[in-house]
Amino acid sequence: MSSTSLFTAHSALAPYGWDQAWADQFAPYAPEGLLPGRVIRVDRGQCDVMTAAGVVRADTAFVTPHDPMRVVCTGDWVAVEPGGNPRYVRTYLPRRTAFVRSTSSKRSEGQILAANVDHAIVAVSLAVELDLGRVERFLALAWESGAQPVVVLTKADLVPDAATLAHLVQDVETTAPGVPVLPVSAVGGDGLDVLRAVVGGGTSVLLGQSGAGKSTLANALLGAEVMDVQATRDADGKGRHTTTTRNLLAMPGGGVLIDTPGLRGVGLWDAESGVGQVFSEIEELGRRCRFHDCAHEREPGCAVLAAIDSGELPHRRLESYRKLIRENQRIVAKTDARLRAEIRRDWKRKGAEGKAAMDAKRGRWA
Ligand code: GDP
Ligand code: ZN
């Protein structure tokens, strides 16, 4: 089957993000009779996979179970067996992006939380004083995953007037170069259409502090009907009513939302390049320092310090940058280098996906 007809044959998966590129990646597995699908939930060695024929439960033991980075996770595209008891996931397709967090084990290892996320929605409440440092931390995490961050300023109805709101938006925009900043109100519905348009074309996750309004946003994006569909009969149910909690749901206006408890409380982990993107203006200034390894402490010819003196760069920004860099270095020092190399390879090597798929296949069946 050509990969174009492969795409068409499974077009029922389009609301879950199935596209021609995934069909191309899946193509090597089609001759084995395997089915493409997207993982909507994982649970102790089992996962629920949305296929064109509906949800199937599958065992993940086949996919290198001893490496926490290489376990199947919500958002993965997989090749699953058409049947069997148990039915196995044979492999996952190379990830476009991934959210990872550190585990509290002695050997600090990453844990994969969600894969193939396009938009990271960072919810920030306008009901409390803006904490720009916290916004920066979530943005670092978002950039590091490979997803495009979007800051959503929630509870805009609680801001007394339009001028104040405009100021708040501007403050966050200055803190977040390259990131759309959208004020929304779940109460009045303001801004929700813009948000729907921004996240409509891909897979999104919700990040942010507890109380920031993530659940409320999820309900607004998904609509009541979709939340009810959470409890549905799975394709293997054969008349039994099995309920499936889904951590990945298709939004009625298009796009997919991944919402897992683990992701909500995620920390900063190996996000060095993410930190650089959050503070792109500082990194930009740093390129003009006299010394290329300038620490921007008290070196002569430091462009960063000059920008602070002239008022161009707020001192708070530099402090926040230093804090996140230090925090990141501590975490990185604890992290197994091999593992980090592997994470990078996993999704930064998009060009070699075909080979990766073949390696995966050989590896599993050798
Ligand atoms: P989460 O912990 O991030 O999931 O936050 P929730 O969605 O549970 O919201 C926390 C509180 O903020 C709840 O009491 C919500 O009713 C309230 N809230 C959420 N969105 C809005 C909004 O747009 N306007 C107002 N006034 N309150 C909101
Ligand atoms: Zn400098």
207, two tokens: 């990040």
- Counting atoms of ligand 1 from 1, which one is nearest the CA of 186? 23
* CATH number of the 3-94 domain: 2.40.50.140
Amino acid at the residue 333 = A
Centroid of ligand 2 to alpha carbon of 300 (angstroms): 8
For ligand 1, mutation pick of 216, 217, 257 (most atoms within 8 Å of CB): 216
Nearest residue (CA) to ligand 1, atom 21: 155
Q: CA 273, CA 256: separation in Å to the nearest integer?
A: 26
* CATH number of the 99-259 domain: 3.40.50.300
- 0.85 exceeded by pTM: no
Q: CA 288, CA 59: separation in Å to the nearest integer?
A: 54
Strand order in the sheet with 89-92: 54-59, 46-51, 35-43, 77-80, 89-92
* CATH number of the 272-365 domain: 1.10.40.50
Residues having CB closer than 6 A to ligand 1 are 123, 154-155, 157-158, 185-187, 208, 210-216
Q: What is the pLDDT of residues 52-85, one digit of tens each?
A: 999 999 999 888 666 666 789 999 999 999 999 8
Nearest residue (CA) to ligand 1, atom 24: 155
| Mean pLDDT computed over 348-358 | 47
Q: What is the pLDDT of residues 72-126, one digit of tens each?
A: 999 999 999 999 989 999 999 999 999 877 544 444 456 788 999 999 999 999 9
Strand order in the sheet with 256-258: 181-183, 148-154, 119-125, 203-207, 256-258, 248-250
Domain ranges of the chain: 3-94, 99-259, 272-365
% of the chain residues with pLDDT over 90: 50
